[in-house]
Structures are given as structure tokens and as C-alpha cells.
Amino acid sequence: MAAVAVLGVGMMMMCISSSVAAVILSGEEKKPVVPKTPAEIAAEKAVADAAKAKADADTAQAAADALAADPDATPAEIAAAKLVADNAAAAAADAATTATAATTTATAATTEILPNGVYTLKGGRNQKYCVDEAGKVICDRDAVGAWEKFTINKEGDKYSLKGSRNQKYCTDEAGKVICDRDAVGAWEKFTVEKHGDKFSLKGGRNQKYCTDEAGKVICDRDAVGAWEKFTLTAI
């Protein structure tokens, strides 16, 4: 009996393996599903609602047209049907506007120039990693350690940077960038611009571009050159 049981289990495992192999060979292997963002879900619902509103408006207009062509319809019935059609058309127009706005929001969210996350920054002067050092940010490291990681978050149309040494926000202070603030104010918000595969940072104090200068990062430049372009890599 034990031998029969073992044989049965073995045949079952062979069948399962064959089924799995068949699925893989037939190209039916399941791919991981990427979850949709709340904005994408809202946009899909808005588009579906707009499509339904348009269909309802078309149906109401067809009914109004048919009633208007009916010689037995009274003026009151024709007027009532026209009112229903006009209201449905207005609702469809509103739904279409909402769908357009929701789609625009969803698209902007998925094409964000710099998604929130932890990044390394590499300066443009010598292509060295920037570090949250005591008293300043400086780009002079050859490898990434704990202090060479920065948390970047969207703040309206700007971004905040938080150093990893003491988890303090970086600020555009006179003469240098330093990560020693507990909260985000005007000077802790940086404007990020994309330049090919690199990024420029503009400080919040005087709206000057930050540069990878010898010994420190400082935001005092009017234009973007090689030293004002940083390589940002998500971790």
C-alpha cells in the first residue's frame, strides 16, 4: 500500500510539473501586476463616468428628436423631452471636463521629474559622490556609504533634501548647503531641472543654481554649466 501511495504522489508531482512547464512554454506565465496609483484609478473612473454620461445624453437626444417628429406629441411633451436632453448634454460636458482634468493629473503623477525616494548625488566637477558631512555638503567621495544617501521629497513645485547623517533637511545657507534643519521652510526647498540624464538644483534663498565647488556645494550661480549638473540615482 505504501508503495502504491508513493507511486501515486510521484505521478501527481509529474503531472503538476508538466502542467507548469506547459504554461511556461505556451507563453502563459503570469507577469507581476503593477499596482495602479490613486490618480490612475480616479482617472479611469472619471473616463468611464464620462463615457456613460455621453451615452445617456445621446439616448436622451434621440428620444427628444423622435418625440419632436411625432405628430401626436404635445408641445409640453416635446419641451419636457428637450429639457431632459439639454440637461443630459450639460452633464456629459461636465463629466468630460472632469475626465480630462483627472487624466492630466494622472499623467503628471506618472511622469514626475523626480519621484520621492532615496538618492545618491554625484557632483559635476569630478564625478564624486556628495556627502552630508558635518557643517556642509561636499562632493568628494568615491563610494556610497550611509552619509552619501539623500531623501528627496516633493514640496509643491519644489523639492526638499534630507541628509542621512542626522536625518536633517538641507538648506541653502549663505556660503554653503548644509543639512541641519528640523523642518522645511523657503530655504529648504530646491527647484529641480532636468538636463539630459543629469539635474540642476536651484536654492530657495536667492534662486541661484547650486554648484559642485571645491570643498562644498554652494548655490550662487546664475546659469547651468558642467559643475551645476548633478547625477541623481535612486536607491
CA-nearest of 171, 170, 221, 228 to 200 is 228
| Lowest mean per-residue pLDDT among 32-41, 91-100, 135-144, 174-183 | 32-41
- Domain 117-234 in CATH 2.80.10.50? The answer is yes
pLDDT in tens, 98-143: 999 988 877 766 567 889 999 999 999 999 999 999 999 999 999 9
Burial of residue 64 (CB within 10 Å: 0-12, 13-18, 19+) is: buried
Q: State how far the Cα of 53 lies from the Cα of 206, in Å rounded to an integer.
A: 50
What is the Cα–Cα distance from 25 to 6, expressed in whole angstroms?
A: 28
